[in-house]
Structure 1
């Protein structure tokens, strides 16, 4: 660690006074101090000692820097802390120290989780509960700890437990450890552990403590129950809590990563696509930011949208025109593309340019793209190529989507066809139907499109056309395009009519040419639409508003969890999935205040989204409600999921708390059936913003018949 890192760490070890704005609170001066009792926690308190809270270093999801004076630290719940600095040197020093402490905290967390997951979580809760910082808990602090664990224990019984175990009206760490181990034992694993434990050792009051699992026992368990013949045990003997930690470890998740075929043209894939990517909130008053592009790429989105407008200083900007949305420099967006486009994988990124700039600033955009992206920028070498380049050939390449120009493409194709494509300035207006009843409408559309075409030629930019690899054109299903490097954009309300009237032709068309679907312009709240009808029909880019984390976005998350490009398949895959929802762990309210005031009444439901045949035939599967137990509810619910088009489906699991006033979401997860692992597996729940919930799981048993 260099000198600046040492100094930065020391600042946090001994305490540093900064201007700080906590999530939903006013800016004030606060002391930041590395907790002396728990090195994975930063303690924050004001100089008068009237306010104190903690920030968990292992729960930091992102650190964003604004210029040279501000850091924004965001946790997995979406809460943030803004730190304000007097100089860039102070910012850099503290940031490097913070980066080092975060790495150390995550290293320690991983070690503790592998050794004892229960105690790892409890240590941080004890630190939060230990208000007087003496490494012991009085009754009020113990009551706070139990509340954080979401365990419903009547106060009278809690007092009895405390009185039985206290020394000098306090519980020390050893006593707390024993109490928490008793409380957190996963009894539902008892029979499974006993079934595979072959070694008996000593005499204990608790039979489980007398049984041990050998490395051979554990490997046998994985072979028979988990379907993993290559599992290698890491040590010779395992007790019950070791086995429990293995079951609830990250390596035992329900999701299994699978390799994808990269040999096909990219028109053969569904592509993780976003709409109005620059927005952090709605499209009328929301804030736009380069951080929104960062988030999109980190989530695995590969097609991002840039609404380009003229900047007052001659520098093009990205914004939502004619609204209250703020501007960001296009140059800054392209730098973000260069730095983050391949954050999750190396699959190609697509920049969808919605152009509103004058010719001069369009030329500036071409300069920016070439100078910043350099070799990343994919440029067409053979315009007469009959099939699009393959996914393998386009690894770590950036493709630009821009409006087509007939004269330019005629030149490249060496053809004299009078009209290859209509200019696509208004996508909704330019869809060609094969319905005779629409002749009058089509005539009006053609007249309108010709007017647009005249305006279009005055504003077209040769420099941008030269580096474009996806030319936006009108969708025509009755004529085979003369160019493979094209894309047609269609709004969500039009696509269903097109598919209904031209289903066969549409599926044949999208086998070789791109179609992009985008939300209806009337969705001012940036809500989303069902992506599955378009995916099922074969449309490659189904763009959603990623700033809105709704059910359709959850389904999108599951569809592209394995890869940002999903190979389309015409072969139906049939699956019978036998599911047992056994139990859950740490189901809590997202809101910290509500967590202290109210215990959850959880239940789990499981659903199918995708091909309408599978969805229509599916039942509504859900467990019974377990009263007053969010920490460790037992469900033991069974169901059978029958799928006929598994390659077109996703399974999503949601945890709710029941209420007569309306149920509340506690956690969720989604994945493709093709990525399911069999055996006893954990589902790692996500919060409402799709961030991982700490130690929040559903334990399930999965069996699959093909």
Structure 2
């Protein structure tokens, strides 16, 4: 069995890849080494090693590749542009935070074959249906377990495979299944027999029991029986019909004979439950479905802090790749820290630290190319300006010349607005957030003194929150504000329209004097104090004005704060270090996974009016208060990832469900752990929650490897908004710490949502 089929294998470019090529792997201007690359027979795995015998080899899957870039489209390949022609160069970009692979072929023709071939294979992997994905996964395991490459697997190899697959199975039972699959009694399994063995191994009793409840003959679900299941268990009666049941049969049933009978077998039922439609996430909420015509201040906006950094804030590398990755993840507000460069060209880096420097003009060029790849809604460029007037003029010139019409430089209708324009009106535009002299449309005739810088606000805010034991900010971050004034050039000031940065002088002053296009930045500590002391006022302020929150200055390791506290009071641009994986980025990804991943999520209606009385501390006092009861039966897990890659190690998984929202909703519950089974653990345990502000809540599923002696190890997670949850029997498809899919790892759950009576 070859899951890729003969068509893709017969492709001329793929044939070049399978034959193998010597490509130069480039890490820097001084590190360029030849490696032999080839595509393995599975049509998915790319293998490479040094040309010298005895050295180890490396493999990766095309499913890990996000994109292929041609020519000198990376900083590394740009640095060797004089040495290698663009048509021989290409870059493999991986999902998540994995570094790029920069390669140079010996000829342009060979580079072209690899570029086209990898793109075809990536497209094939991305467009697989659920059955094809499962077939591919089975094929991969067969390849890994077949150590001697004879296309067969004896029982010893099967035992090793079971350990690799994270299951500690009774050897007698495993031998029994092996013997049943070995129809030819040859003592080994070929791939088709292995598929049969796998199906017996993965027989899911918990799915079979649900199937039996609705199948009259126990063999098939007729369309009418499937419709009953959809109505009663999946709570889809309002939008489902017998016609939809038939559509599911046509889409997911592998047996043509069953399709002709308008029926679904157990195999088809399991494929449906594992599909996108059987997912815990409402499919329609993954698409762009919200009203995008409201003022910008009515949306949560996916926002990045120190976007240029790939690592920590003291010694990390500044990189254009960091901007590309953030924008591809749907980020709509990026930060640029600008400083005077030695040759008259402004540079971007974390000032007064050991982080590397990149050119401002290169950042702007990267924005021009990647701003609207993931979303065509506006991008806000948050400018941290430390440059003198002369290089500010250079910045203004680069912004105008490189971005052209993409940069918004004038009021949409020429009128001073009473409210901010909408994402819809600003589609395809880049907005500059920075200091500005005067109002939009004003003419400024000279260079004027600006207010205190955001960095000084950060230093002051953080200093206020330090306890006696804390070191001073200056000891932790060598950039605390030394200057008290800066000057703005007219050219740069004139480019700021709807996002004028101003110092925050209190909610009362904002109510009486502030214009809707004036916005303030707050350190996390200051924002937390305001949220606690004046939550309702903060919500009201954010109904009209944009707020940007940034991590405190002591987070030199690029760690993050919990963004939920800021969303609870309506802050739109809650900026996080996108380069740092963990809970906080899981929450950010979870919130912005909805609405087509466009980077804008409409705030709940009770947070959008200037007279709102909503307080996150007292959610029950708002109009329309409707608490919900959330009941999650954690039934089973499927093919959970290994934590320890040692051959004999098996995980002891447990499931924790966490609710993040207003303070009253913060809660977590967990199952017991299952000993020695990451392959098909069964819990059948129910976790219960009450959610008082469901419109703001996020639900996070996390799987951990239980450890009695030390902290549990993370295995996988999935986070989504409460409002996007599908009730019924659902699969939760797990993501890695990096936020990438861990196919086919999942949890099988039954979810019930009801009004709290």
Q: Pick the TM interval, shorter chain.
A: 0.7 to 0.9
Check conservation: 1:384, 1:413, Cα contact below 8 A: no
Check conservation: 1:383, 1:412, Cα contact below 8 A: no
Check conservation: 2:68, 2:118, Cα contact below 8 A: no
**Residue 651 of structure 1 pairs with residue 699 of structure 2:** yes
**Residue 534 of structure 1 pairs with residue 554 of structure 2:** no
**Residue 102 of structure 1 pairs with residue 127 of structure 2:** no
What do residues 355-384 of structure 1 show as CA deviations (whole Å, max 9, x unaligned)?
A: 112222212222222222222222332463
Residue 603 of structure 2: aligned partner:
568
Distance 1:361-1:185 versus aligned 2 partners, 3 A rule: same
Residue 141 of structure 1: aligned partner:
157
> How many equivalent pairs are there?
653
Inter-partner Cα distance in structure 1 for 2:265 and 2:534: 62
Check conservation: 2:632, 2:686, Cα contact below 8 A: yes
Residue 735 of structure 2: aligned partner:
686
**Equivalent residue runs for 1:167-206 within 5 Å:** 167-198=185-216, 200=217
Inter-partner Cα distance in structure 2 for 1:543 and 1:299: 14
- Post-superposition offset of 1:658: 0.5
**Residue 524 of structure 1 pairs with residue 541 of structure 2:** no
Residue 318 of structure 2: aligned partner:
288
Check conservation: 2:459, 2:553, Cα contact below 8 A: no
Inter-partner Cα distance in structure 2 for 1:516 and 1:249: 38
Cα RMSD after superposing both structures: 3.1
Check conservation: 2:450, 2:488, Cα contact below 8 A: no
SS at 2:503 equivalent: coil
Inter-partner Cα distance in structure 2 for 1:32 and 1:81: 16
Check conservation: 1:18, 1:83, Cα contact below 8 A: no
Q: Using structure 1 for the length normalisation, give the TM-score.
A: 0.85
SS at 1:250 equivalent: coil
Residue 658 of structure 2: aligned partner:
607
- Post-superposition offset of 1:46: 5.2
Residue 5 of structure 2: aligned partner:
none
**Residue 588 of structure 1 pairs with residue 641 of structure 2:** yes
Structure 1 unaligned residues grouped into runs of 5+: 201-207, 432-450
Check conservation: 1:475, 1:488, Cα contact below 8 A: yes
Inter-partner Cα distance in structure 1 for 2:98 and 2:154: 29
Distance 1:39-1:501 versus aligned 2 partners, 3 A rule: closer
- Post-superposition offset of 1:425: 6.3
What do residues 139-198 of structure 1 show as CA deviations (whole Å, max 9, x unaligned)?
A: 453234222321112557656655676555432123212211100111101121122224
Inter-partner Cα distance in structure 2 for 1:131 and 1:629: 24
What do residues 8-33 of structure 1 show as CA deviations (whole Å, max 9, x unaligned)?
A: 434212111234589xxx98654322
SS at 2:714 equivalent: strand
What do residues 307-335 of structure 1 show as CA deviations (whole Å, max 9, x unaligned)?
A: 11222333222111122211122222222
**Residue 213 of structure 1 pairs with residue 221 of structure 2:** yes
Inter-partner Cα distance in structure 2 for 1:31 and 1:349: 41
Residue 145 of structure 2: aligned partner:
129
Distance 1:6-1:332 versus aligned 2 partners, 3 A rule: farther
- Post-superposition offset of 1:509: 2.2
Residue 387 of structure 2: aligned partner:
357
Check conservation: 2:694, 2:723, Cα contact below 8 A: yes
1:369 is aligned, of 399, 410, 415, to: 399
Residue 468 of structure 1: aligned partner:
496
1:633 is aligned, of 655, 678, 681, to: 681
Inter-partner Cα distance in structure 2 for 1:348 and 1:372: 17
Inter-partner Cα distance in structure 2 for 1:146 and 1:410: 67
Inter-partner Cα distance in structure 2 for 1:533 and 1:179: 50
Residue 474 of structure 2: aligned partner:
none
**Equivalent residue runs for 1:277-316 within 5 Å:** 277-316=307-346
1:84 is aligned, of 98, 103, 122, to: 103
Where in structure 1 do 4 or more consecutive aligned residues deviate above 6 Å?
Answer: 418-423
**Equivalent residue runs for 1:396-545 within 5 Å:** 396-405=428-437, 408-409=438-439, 412=442, 426-428=456-458, 455-456=485-486, 459-469=487-497, 470-476=499-505, 477-479=507-509, 480-545=512-577
Check conservation: 1:274, 1:544, Cα contact below 8 A: yes
Distance 1:240-1:301 versus aligned 2 partners, 3 A rule: same
- Post-superposition offset of 1:656: 0.5
Inter-partner Cα distance in structure 2 for 1:40 and 1:645: 45
1:671 is aligned, of 717, 720, 727, to: 720
**Residue 119 of structure 1 pairs with residue 135 of structure 2:** yes
Check conservation: 2:418, 2:516, Cα contact below 8 A: yes
Distance 1:353-1:76 versus aligned 2 partners, 3 A rule: closer
SS at 2:715 equivalent: strand
What do residues 474-502 of structure 1 show as CA deviations (whole Å, max 9, x unaligned)?
A: 11223233532111111111223334444
What do residues 626-650 of structure 1 show as CA deviations (whole Å, max 9, x unaligned)?
A: 1111011111111222111111211
Check conservation: 1:403, 1:425, Cα contact below 8 A: no
